[in-house]
Amino acid sequence: MKSRTQRKLFIVFVLAGITLAGYLTYRALQENMLYFFSPTQVAAGEAPQRTFRLGGMVVDGSLKREPGTLNVSFVVTDNVHSVPVKYDQLLPDLFREGAGAVIIGRLNDNGEFVGEQVLAKHDENYMPPEVADALEKARAAQGQ
């Protein structure tokens, strides 16, 4: 036999549990959210100090490699502003100059973007929607 108080206590515990679980889920989600910023936003100083995603077109002829090492640098642009990127791992198969790319990483003190991961796993005709959007916005802003 459950008394009334016992039942109330049970409900309070369940609600407290759900609230706690919800809060923890929210925190975990928030900590792992990676926001997207375009080169224009980075130039305007809107980008945070923490890790984020940078996307745009890789500028033709900007890909430079330190001979014999994995260190590369290239420039990502939305045709209005550009951001230099440094990277020291294998570039994915579909990474090309003149194509869209999204890079996860953070800004260093010299205003360079230090990449941790370059995303270019989609097929070559495919443009990451965020990059397409960023290019579109930059074009519109320039036209004004």
Partner 1 sequence: MIPEFGQLALALALCLALVQGIVPLVGAALGRVEWMALARPAAAGQFVFVAIAFGVLVYAFLSDDFSVLFVAQHSNSALPVFYKATAAWGGHEGSMLLWIAVLAVWTMAVAAGSRSQPQEFASRVLGVLGIVSAGVIAFAFITSNPFTRLVPTPADGNDLNPLLQDPGMIFHPPTLYVGYVGMAVPFAFAVAALLTGRLDKDWARWTRPWTIVAWLFLTAGITLGSWWAYYELGWGGWWFWDPVENSSFMPWLMATALLHSLAVTERRGIFKSWTVLLAIAAFSLSLLGTFLTRAGVLISVHAFASDPTRGLFILGLLGLFSGGGLLLYAVRARHLEAEGGFKVMSRETFLLANNILLVIGAFVVLLGTLAPLIIEALGLGKISVGPPYFNLMFLLPTLPLVALIGVGMHTGWRTMPGDALVRRLRMPAIAAVVVGVIVPFVFFETASVLTVLAVSIALWVCVSSLLDPARRIVFRTGAPMTRGQVGMCLAHFGVGVFMLGATVASAYNFERDFSARPGEQIEAGGYEFVFNGVREVQGPNFVAAEGDIELRSDGELLSLLKPQVRTYQVQTQPMTEAAIDTNLARDVFVALGEPLGNDAWSIRLRVKPLITFLWLGAGLMALGGLVAITDRRYRVAARQTDRSPAQTAAGTA
Among residues 2, 3, 72, 85, the alpha carbon closest in space to that of 39 is found at 85
* Smallest separation, CB 104 to partner 1 (Å): 8
In one-letter notation, the amino acid at residue 16 is: A
In one-letter notation, the amino acid at residue 52 is: F
Q: How many Å apart are CA 48 and CA 30, to the nearest integer?
A: 14
Among residues 88, 89, 87, the alpha carbon closest in space to that of 58 is found at 87
DSSP tag of 103? E
- Identity of the residue, 109 or 123, whose beta carbon is nearer to partner 1 in the bound complex: 123
- Per CB under 8 A, contacts with partner 1 among 38-97 are 53, 65, 67-70, 88-91, 93-94
**Out of 10, 17, 35, 108, which residue is the one contacting partner 1 (CB under 8 A)?**
35
* Smallest separation, CB 141 to partner 1 (Å): 17
- Interaction mask 105-124, partner 1, x per CB under 8 A: ----------------xxxx
Q: How many Å apart are CA 35 and CA 50, to the nearest integer?
A: 10
Contact 106, 49 (CB under 8 A): yes
* Smallest separation, CB 97 to partner 1 (Å): 13
DSSP tag of 82? E
* Smallest separation, CB 76 to partner 1 (Å): 16
Segment near partner 1 (CB under 8 A); pick from 7-15, 32-40, 105-113, 136-144: 32-40
Q: In the complex, which residues of this chain contact partner 1 (CB under 8 A)?
A: 25, 28-29, 31-36, 53, 65, 67-70, 88-91, 93-94, 102, 121-124, 126, 128-130, 133
